[in-house]
Chain A
Amino acid sequence: MNENLKIIGKISSINGSVIKVKGFSHQSVGDMVNISEELNITGEIIKIIDNIAVIQCYEETLGLKLNAIVTNLQYPLSMELGPGLLNSIYDGIQRPLETIAEITGDFISGGLKINALDRKKKWKFIPTVKKGTVVSRGDIIGYVQEFSLHHEIMVPKGVSGTIIEISEGNFNILDTICSIKNKNKIKNYDQKLLSKWPIRIPRPYHKRLMPDRPLITGTRVFDLLFPVAIGGVVAVPGGFGTGKTVVQHSLAKFADADVIVYIGCGERGNEMADLLNSFPKLVDPKNNRPLMERTIMIANTSNMPVSAREASIFSGITMAEYFRDMGKDVLLLADSTSRWAEALRELSGRLEEMPTEGGYPAYLATRLANFYERAGLIEIVGSPKRIGSITIIGAVSPGGGDFSEPVTTNTKRFVKAFWALDPNLAYARHYPSVNWNNSYSLYDNLAEFWEENIHKGWEEYRKAINYILSREGELENIAKLIGPENLPPDQQLILYTANLIKEGFLIQNGFNDNDRYSSPQKTMKLISLFLKYYNESLSLIRQNVPFFRFKELEVINSIRRARLDVSNDNLDELDLLDLMLSRDLLQIHRQYAELL
């Protein structure tokens, strides 16, 4: 850029992470700026009032001076998109944390400008179209193999015309891989592996489809009771200590998606360390490769700058959309959206805006919608015709565990599944502490897919468990009053079975090798054991067999422990338990058949 054309201004006010700048000759909301020639802090114009730019800084402003020079860079905050994104760890504005560590050591200092993607690394580009092909926005012209993923290279927005040159070879992300004779333009377009996209603008799509396939999470309570569809939106609210982060980690590890974008937004440094530590060692069961190879992490911990925390959610969704546009199923995990909302509140406070409920700005709901509405099952623009998806699972951390606070209530408006975590279950070390009364999923159209492609009986089992758990809820209070022994035997069976289901099915131990991931087959076989126990015992109880006989069954203890003892590749053991259960029940039946 020509030095003389630089648009500069001077700082007229500093208040926390918000500064005001006078003197820009022209400026727009969304422009990136470089603040102070000494400190080189990155910022973004968020408002313009009487020609004064109001800027949020992505770094600590301590040590910044009044009247320091600010340069308007005149482009919006954008993500770099291209090969090299996977297996990366970024801060909230896509600066690679590994590279930062190489430069500034163990602690993060300000003033760094680092490219998100490696400029030197060579990638083997394999074209899938030929010279002479007419292409336009969104068309795939070839791919780069990035780990086990076909990283498709797409024609960017605003380009359409005939390919005049394209070749296979090893390129870095700034090399020209293909020249396109652009219609209506004099200059040819030189396509590179790298592209950019502003984070505040959703990438366009062809059309939205109705999500109808389940996203298999490997967590039994979700897969069976509160399912989420591929392209769906879920909120996971819970007070502290209810296990939100463990749920998010478990989904990141085991959910069945092509790409995982994990946003650690304003959360604990040690938790990120846990993820960063365990992911490279964990293996994706689908291809036996390290899980990190399908993962992009954004780590903007709670002590990192608050504006970058606000941006991190949109940074993440922009990268997710890029992979969606290749026709991939992307799962975006945001932990936690409340921290993001608080960042919004903090900035709004610094801007002296009129607050609404809980101190949050009036545009909280709009911003939440901007984020959640970028999920979905999508038919992509361009050829070949393809379908991609983004599933968002956002953790919510309601203050005081109170679900009526603004972030939780507003989030509820935009999600179709709600996994309410319950401190009382967590106190009893019942994890995942999903409360079956307050949680819901509106993805009830998944039964067909389950029945046809995964396992039969899904709908039926769901109904049966819901019945037992809701009956238990009703009976519990009576049992407390008169003692469970004084209930009729069929009701005692309900209480007993409900406890078995909790202990042996709903609880899932994230630290047990057999239990932390439950394949859909294991989930279904396991639950069928409990339901069989219930149904057959019930029919015998109706024939006047006393209830205590069913409590004494030896096989029950093995069934209760089966989730821990039986691995996913050894489901025959569950069939064996099923046989043993049948045998024991038959034995009771015979004994009493003689008596009666």
Chain B
Amino acid sequence: MSLIYKNLTTVKDPLLYLKPIQHHNIKNGSIVRIKTEEGLRTGQVLSVSHEVVVIQVIEGTFGIGVGTDETEITFLDETYLVGVSREMIGRRFNGMGLPIDGGAPILPEEMRRIEGEPINPTRRAYPRDVIQTGISLFDGLNTLIRGQKLPIFTGQGLPHNKLIAQIVNNAKVRTNEPFVTIFCGIGILAESALYFQNKFEERGTTRLISFINLASDPTIERLIVPKIALTTAEFLAFKHDMHVLIILSDMTSYAEALREVSNIKGEIPARKGFPGYMYSDLASIYERAGRIRGKKGSITQIPVVTMPNDDISHPIPDLTGYITEGQIVLSREFHQKGIFPPIYPLASLSRLMKDAIGEGSTREDHSDVASQLYAAYNNFLQIKELESIIGSDSITLVDKKYLKFGELFENYFTNQGETERSFEETLNIAWNILGEIGKGELVRIKKEYIKKYFVEKRSN
């Protein structure tokens, strides 16, 4: 049954409205073909009733005419499907999943719905294997776990692109299992896209898939591209036993696209104009990370969230933080001090690291060392504040040791530049700087580890 509609009533970019024929069983979410003078466009049914069908047009509605015979609309009986294949590894695609690297089109091994289905909670395997990013603030203090979703909260003007490029190039699973990285650019600048491409090519792109939706591409594509990327990831991870690390940059563009469409639909907004269902919508993306019992592969997500005006309580980072398993927060202060990567340790957290690190995976002392570093750094900040008020002459000897420790923590442990460190190197550096505060202060570390790893400083 292919009814052709020519009765468009309203065009509100990117949405079209028309009244359906009473007995036409239009499917919710089905694909719509829109024939215009310039050619064919694709849309999707957002909601449907006997009075009105709302269609969202992926390419935008510019030039679509009302009251003209030229615009023809047909409803297909299918929902949106995307072709996935192992051939995609090493290739570059646009926001609709079409190759943009000049290579041949992909022959799909399978067609899949991009919305995905929720993983049954009883079938989930609890994540307990690590990914080494080569960055001490990740590996040492906020270890990334396979199957985790760990966002980077950043601000405008902070070097998150550089950090991401470094993670993409250096991340590894340290076991001989297949590992693929998917880079999903959502509303990124053309120049950033070029930067990433150049950076990625430094290390080679044979284990990388890129999906790029540029800031100048249609808004609707931003809502689709992460779903295509995740559908690909699910195919590789759960059908072909691969460990997939997926970078979503930037989820703020995604959320803003969501708000744009919601606003045009005339929905009732919740916080800051974002729709009330944004939590569920973001969850439908983030919750596609994970592991499944009996399957070898995993999907790990690093979404990048630009905090508008550095505000961590803004709905986008806030709702993200409630869904993801921790967060890595970049600090403007660190960046201004010249520290790279400017990761602020106290606000950062990896919820899943506790069960995944330690003997047999990273090193036995990892958990205690991480906890001690946090406590000591926190102590350092308090002493620094005190020092700035009462002067450095009035603080105790122990306090002075903490000041030395804190300085090394920021400028040496955190500020690693573009070098790559293994877990062992990160932990050794940690012991080295913990040496500054002396054995007696290491109350969070088991005595046997102190015996084994403690680095005595001559000044003590």
Contact = CB atoms under 8 A, between A and B. Distances in A.
A291 to B, nearest CB: 16
Contacts of A241: 321, 326-327, 349, 351
B192 interface: no
A359 B322 contact: no
B23 interface: yes
Contacts of B200: none
A270 B127 contact: yes
A402 interface: yes
A382 to B, nearest CB: 35
Interface in A54-72: 60-68
Interface in A83-127: 89, 97-98, 100-101, 104-109
A49 interface: no
Contacts of A342: 276, 279-280
Interface in B95-109: none
B194 interface: no
Interface in B15-46: 20, 23-30
Contacts of B119: 106-108, 269
Nearest to B387: A483
A301 B385 CA distance: 42
Interface in B305-348: 313-315, 318-319, 321-323, 325-327, 346-347
B277 A16 contact: yes
Nearest to B321: A240
Given A346-B277, A400-B318, A108 B117 contact: yes
Nearest to A483: B390
A427 B126 contact: no
Interface in A498-527: 503, 511
Given A269-B287, A483-B386, A402 B313 contact: yes
A429 B48 contact: no
B147 A270 contact: yes
Interface stretch (B164-172, B206-214, B262-270): B262-270
A57 to B, nearest CB: 11
A594 to B, nearest CB: 29
A213 interface: no
B271 interface: yes
B238 interface: yes
Given A303-B283, A485-B394, A108 B325 contact: no
Contacts, number: 217
Contact of A399 (B27, B271, B375): B271
A12 interface: yes
A331 interface: no
Interface stretch (A216-224, A271-279, A537-545): A271-279
Contact of B126 (A15, A264, A277, A483): A277
A268 B325 contact: yes
Given A16-B47, A63-B27, A428-B378, A97 B126 contact: no
Contacts of A343: 280
Contact of B279 (A16, A266, A272, A402): A266
B26 A480 contact: no
B50 to A, nearest CB: 5
Task: Name the residue in B124, B126, B319 with the highest tally of chain A Cβ atoms < 10 Å from its Cβ.
Answer: B124
Contact of B323 (A268, A345, A482): A268
B155 interface: no
B125 to A, nearest CB: 7
A557 interface: yes
Contacts of A67: 23-25
Contacts of B127: 270, 273
Nearest to A65: B25
A302 interface: yes
Interface in B341-383: 346-347, 349, 351-352, 354-355, 367, 371, 374-375, 378
A98 B276 CA distance: 31
Contacts of B122: 89, 97-98, 101, 276, 299
A14 interface: yes
Contacts of B293: 106
Contacts of A345: 270, 276
Given A20-B49, A269-B124, A346-B280, A359 B321 contact: no
Contacts of A65: 25-28
B123 interface: yes
B268 A427 contact: no
Nearest to B44: A62
Given A14-B49, A97-B121, A272-B121, A349 B267 contact: yes
A65 B27 CA distance: 4
Task: Name the residue in B283, B347, B349 with the highest tally of chain A Cβ atoms < 10 Å from its Cβ.
Answer: B283
Contact of A429 (B126, B351, B378): B378
Contacts of B295: 106
B460 interface: no
A399 B28 contact: no
Nearest to B345: A427
Interface string B397-408: 000000000000
Interface string B158-176: 0000000000000000000
B268 A352 contact: yes
A278 to B, nearest CB: 8
B290 interface: yes
A303 B288 contact: yes
A192 interface: no
B50 A13 contact: yes
Contacts of B325: 268, 270-271
A284 B79 CA distance: 49
B121 A269 contact: yes
A560 interface: yes
A10 B354 CA distance: 52
Contacts of A274: 126, 355
A64 B118 contact: no
A273 B125 contact: yes
A268 B147 CA distance: 12
Interface string A38-81: 00000000000000000000001111111110000000000000
Contacts of A266: 279-280, 283
Given A269-B124, A269-B287, A358-B271, A301 B118 contact: yes
A23 to B, nearest CB: 12
Interface in A402-432: 402, 426-429
Given A62-B79, A301-B287, A429-B374, A108 B443 contact: no
Contacts of B284: 303
Contacts of A264: 121
Contacts of A268: 287, 323, 325
A359 B322 CA distance: 19
A1 interface: no
Given A63-B29, A482-B390, A511-B354, A359 B276 contact: yes
A306 interface: yes
A32 B26 CA distance: 24
Given A14-B28, A107-B117, 14 more contacts: A12-B50, A62-B29, A65-B28, A89-B122, A97-B122, A106-B119, A108-B117, A108-B120, A239-B318, A239-B321, A270-B127, A277-B126, A399-B313, A503-B443
Interface of B: 20, 23-30, 47-51, 79, 115-127, 147-148, 238, 267-271, 275-277, 279-280, 283-284, 286-290, 292-293, 295, 313-315, 318-319, 321-323, 325-327, 346-347, 349, 351-352, 354-355, 367, 371, 374-375, 378, 385-386, 389-390, 394-396, 443
Interface of A: 12-16, 20, 60-68, 89, 97-98, 100-101, 104-109, 239-241, 264, 266, 268-274, 276-277, 299, 301-304, 306, 339, 342-343, 345-346, 348-349, 352, 355, 358-359, 397, 399-402, 426-429, 480-483, 485, 503, 511, 557, 560-561
13 contacts: A14-B28, A16-B277, A106-B292, A240-B322, A270-B127, A274-B355, A299-B121, A302-B279, A304-B118, A427-B346, A428-B374, A480-B389, A481-B389
Q: Which 5 A-B pairs have the closest CB atoms?
A: A400-B313, A13-B49, A302-B283, A359-B270, A303-B287
